[in-house]
Amino acid sequence: MAEFNSKDTGAFKGVWVFCEQREGVIMSISYQLLSEGRKLANDLGVELCGVVLGSGVKEEYIKALGGYGADKVYYCDHELLKDYTTDGYTKVICDLVEDKKPEIFLIGATNIGRDLGPRCAARLHTGLTADCTHLDVDVEKYKSFLKTTSTIDVDNTAFEVNTNLKMTRPAFGGHLMATIICPRFRPQMSTVRPGVMATQAYDEAGAAKTVVENVPVSLSKDDIHVEILEIKKAAKKMVDLIGADVVVSVGRGISKDPEKGIALAQDLANALGGVVGSSRACVDAGWISADHQVGQTGKTVHPRIYVALGISGAIQHKAGMQDSECIIAVNKNGDAPIFEVASYGIVGDLFKVAPMLTEAIKALKASK
């Protein structure tokens, strides 16, 4: 293995995605990151590689990563990688990075990814930007992004032309968006929030031509300083916000009768075939459980229809839902920021408007 020097930026090439698996099943965040990684790899003219660590993962699951954009998959198969451990996964990934030298390495901001990413970055002596919501390497594409998401006078601002990864994430509690670069070290690493990047359509031909490279793993029990005795799963039904086609969310506007407000949202969601979400205010007040939360500190959603009932539209909440296809906002305050991103706005009391919407939808369905 050649000597590893994270400062030798010219020695690094290619885009990598850590494809997380649990119990042999690839997590959906992997497909999202591969889809985004494909765009970056195309802009750079380089190869996109998936990295899978595990034991006995089915070949069909590994090959399927090519259907979401991977040219190659590095598969590290070892019995000590069956279940995630920080020490084991960090060693194997860093050994592979030091050998192959990717320019960009993306990791999902899951519980595992948020533990793994910083440890790998520290060991590789490089930087890591956490919880990214946007990535670019092409300057013109980055400028186009800024024109729609910032107040910067892009046309009259000088931009340095380079292919550094521009990693954008919420900062200062979501009150602004910061773009971070890592120009002096490689690989450029970031964790990306689940649900932020769109998954491309599955390509059967891409999966068929995927190259799978089985990587020799150097790992022993002495490298791992914890022992997994048992894995316990909590049997708790949680709402699937990310996969929902319709989300009806409630905000602080239900404060006069939270229980009734949530019930009205549930009725409307049922009529539309969707699920109930909420702003952080409702979760903090204890009116609804945290798995319903949409926003910077909750889940990022991209439903076909997003209904905001009594949500003012703080930037933290908008960061998690503003890319929905159709946004319908109901708020008594006609100047509420939520109307800035709404496709349709209704100025009124949600306790009166929501039942009217539900009845109208039911009547429309009954007439068909």
pLDDT 10s digits, 251-263: 999 999 999 999 9
List, by residue range, all CATH 3.40.50.1220 domains of the chain.
246-367
**Spatial distance between the Cα atoms of 326 and 304, rounded to a whole number of angstroms:** 6
pLDDT for 175 equals 65
In CATH, 5-223 is 3.40.50.620: yes
pLDDT for 2 equals 57
How far is C-alpha 91 from the chain's CA centre? 25
**pTM for the full predicted model:** 0.76
List, as one string, the DSSP characters of 190-202: EEE-TTSSPPPPP
pLDDT for 234 equals 66
Residue ranges in the chain whose pLDDT is less than 50? 1
Q: Which CATH number fits domain 246-367: 3.40.50.620, 3.30.70.1050, 3.40.50.1220, 3.90.580.10?
A: 3.40.50.1220
pLDDT for 236 equals 60
Peptide bond into 337 cis (omega under 30): no
pLDDT for 143 equals 92
Nearest in space to 333 (alpha carbons), one of 252, 268, 263, 249: 252
List, by residue range, all CATH 3.40.50.620 domains of the chain.
5-223
Over the stretch 34-57, which tens digit does the pLDDT of each residue have? 999 999 999 999 999 999 999 999
Nearest in space to 30 (alpha carbons), one of 17, 42, 41: 17
pLDDT for 62 equals 94
The residue assigned the tokens 């100025």 is 347
The conformational region for residue 266 under phi > 0 = left, psi -120 to 50 = alpha, else beta, is alpha
pLDDT for 174 equals 59
Q: Give the largest Cα separation in the chain, rounded.
A: 72
pLDDT for 173 equals 61
**Spatial distance between the Cα atoms of 133 and 172, rounded to a whole number of angstroms:** 15
pLDDT for 344 equals 95
Residue 332 half-sphere exposure, CB side, CA atoms within 13 Å? 9
Say whether 215 sits in a helix, a strand or coil.
coil
**Spatial distance between the Cα atoms of 301 and 315, rounded to a whole number of angstroms:** 15
**Spatial distance between the Cα atoms of 161 and 143, rounded to a whole number of angstroms:** 11
pLDDT for 273 equals 93
